[in-house]
Chain A
Amino acid sequence: MDFRITPEEEAFRKEVKEFLDKELPKDWPGVDPDLYHEDAFDNIHEVSLAMQKKLAAKEWLGLTWPKKYGGHEQPLWKQIILEEEMTYRGSPGLDPYQFVGGMGDLLLDFGTEAQRMKYLPMMVRGEIKGATGMSEPNAGSDLANIQLKAELQGDYFILNGQKTWQSAAHKADLEPVYVRTDPNLLKHRGISIILVELKKTPGITMRPLEMMSGLKAFNEVFYDNVKVPKENLLGEINGGWKIVMAALSHERAYGVMLLINIRRDIDLLVEYCKETKDVDGVPLSKNKMIRNRLADVAIQQEIARNVGYKLNHLALTGGNVVSTANTVKILGGVTTQRVAQVGMQIMGMYGQLGPVGGNWRQTDPVKDKWTRLGGRMKHLYLSTVCNTIAAGTTEVARNAAAGALGCPREPKPAPKK
Chain B
Amino acid sequence: MDLALSEEQEMLWKSARDFLASKVPKTLVRQMEEDEKGYVPELWKEMADLGWIGLPFPEQLGGGGFKFLDLVILLEEMGRACLPGPFLSTVVLGGMPVVEFGTEEQKKAIIPKLCKGELIMTMALTEPSARYEAKAVQVEAKAEGDHYIINGTKLFVNDANVADKIIVVARTAKKQHPEEGITLFLVDRKAPGVKIHLLKTIAGDKQCEVTFEKVKVAKADILGKADHGWAIVKKVMEWAALAKSAEMQGGAQQVLEMTIQYGKDRVQFDRPIGSFQILQHYMADMSIDVDSARVSLHKAAWMLSEGIPCRKEVAVIKGWLDEAYRRVTAQSHQIHGAIGFTKDHDLELYFRRAKAAELYFGDADFQREIVAQELGM
Residues on A lying within 8 angstroms of B by beta carbon are 1-5, 266, 270, 273-274, 285-286, 291-292, 294-296, 298-300, 302-304, 306-307, 309-310, 312-313, 317, 324, 327, 330-331, 395, 397-399, 401-402, 405-411
Contacts and interface: CB of A to CB of B under 8 A. Distances in A.
B377 A285 contact: yes
A286 B373 CA distance: 10
A298 B275 contact: no
Given A295-B371, A405-B260, A410 B276 contact: yes
B299 interface: yes
A399 B303 CA distance: 35
A273 B372 CA distance: 11
Query: What 6 A-B pairs are tightest by C-beta distance, nearest first?
Result: A402-B280, A401-B284, A295-B368, A291-B372, A398-B284, A295-B371
Contacts, number: 145
6 contacts: A291-B368, A294-B372, A295-B368, A298-B316, A397-B284, A399-B284
Contact of B3 (A3, A292, A303): A3
Contacts of A409: 275
Contacts of A408: 263-264, 271-272, 274-275
A401 B288 contact: yes
Interface string B353-377: 0000000000001011111100111
B27 interface: no
B5 interface: yes
Interface residues of B, number: 50
Contacts of B317: 303
B371 A299 contact: yes
B338 interface: no
Nearest to B273: A408
Interface stretch (B140-148, B212-220, B289-297): B289-297
B311 interface: no
Contact of A402 (B9, B69, B283): B283
A211 to B, nearest CB: 27
Interface in B279-333: 279-281, 283-285, 287-288, 291-293, 295-296, 298-299, 302-303, 313, 315-317, 319-320
Contacts of B375: 266, 270, 294-295, 298
A310 B3 contact: yes
Contacts of A310: 3, 295
A22 B131 CA distance: 50
A390 B146 CA distance: 72
Contacts of B302: 1-3
Given A310-B295, A405-B287, A399 B277 contact: yes
A66 B157 CA distance: 63
Given A3-B3, A299-B371, 20 more contacts: A4-B1, A270-B375, A274-B376, A291-B368, A291-B372, A291-B377, A294-B377, A296-B368, A299-B319, A303-B316, A306-B296, A309-B295, A312-B1, A331-B292, A407-B263, A407-B274, A407-B275, A407-B279, A407-B280, A408-B263
B291 A2 contact: no
Interface string B243-272: 000000000000000001001100000011
A302 B5 CA distance: 21
Given A2-B1, A294-B372, A406-B264, A306 B272 contact: no
A398 B281 contact: yes
Given A292-B369, A408-B275, A331 B288 contact: yes
Interface of B: 1-6, 9, 69, 260, 263-264, 271-272, 274-277, 279-281, 283-285, 287-288, 291-293, 295-296, 298-299, 302-303, 313, 315-317, 319-320, 365, 367-372, 375-377
Given A1-B3, A298-B371, A299-B316, A405 B271 contact: no
B245 to A, nearest CB: 12
Chain A, interface SS category = helix
Nearest to A409: B275
A307 B295 contact: yes
Interface centre among B271, B274, B371, B372 (most CB of A within 10 A): B372
A356 B208 CA distance: 60
A3 B2 CA distance: 6
Given A295-B372, A406-B260, A411-B271, A401 B287 contact: yes
A402 B281 contact: yes
Contacts of B275: 407-411
A327 B367 CA distance: 25
A411 B299 CA distance: 41
Contacts of A399: 277, 280-281, 284
A302 B318 CA distance: 12
A327 B291 contact: yes
Contacts of B5: 1
A313 B371 contact: no
A379 to B, nearest CB: 23
A209 to B, nearest CB: 29
A401 B283 CA distance: 9
Contacts of A410: 275-277, 280
Contacts of A395: 281
Interface centre among A300, A303, A309 (most CB of B within 10 A): A303
A262 to B, nearest CB: 14
A1 B377 contact: no
A309 B299 CA distance: 10
Nearest to B296: A306
B289 to A, nearest CB: 9
A1 B299 CA distance: 9
B372 A307 contact: no
Contacts of A302: 296, 313, 316
A286 B377 CA distance: 7
A303 B320 contact: yes
Contacts of B292: 303-304, 306-307, 327, 331
Contacts of B283: 401-402, 405, 407
Contacts of A402: 274, 277, 280-281, 283-284
Nearest to B276: A410
A311 B216 CA distance: 56
Contacts of A327: 287-288, 291-292
Contact of A292 (B2, B276, B365): B365
A397 B277 CA distance: 12
A295 B275 CA distance: 37
A198 B131 CA distance: 65
A241 to B, nearest CB: 22
B371 to A, nearest CB: 4
Contacts of B365: 292
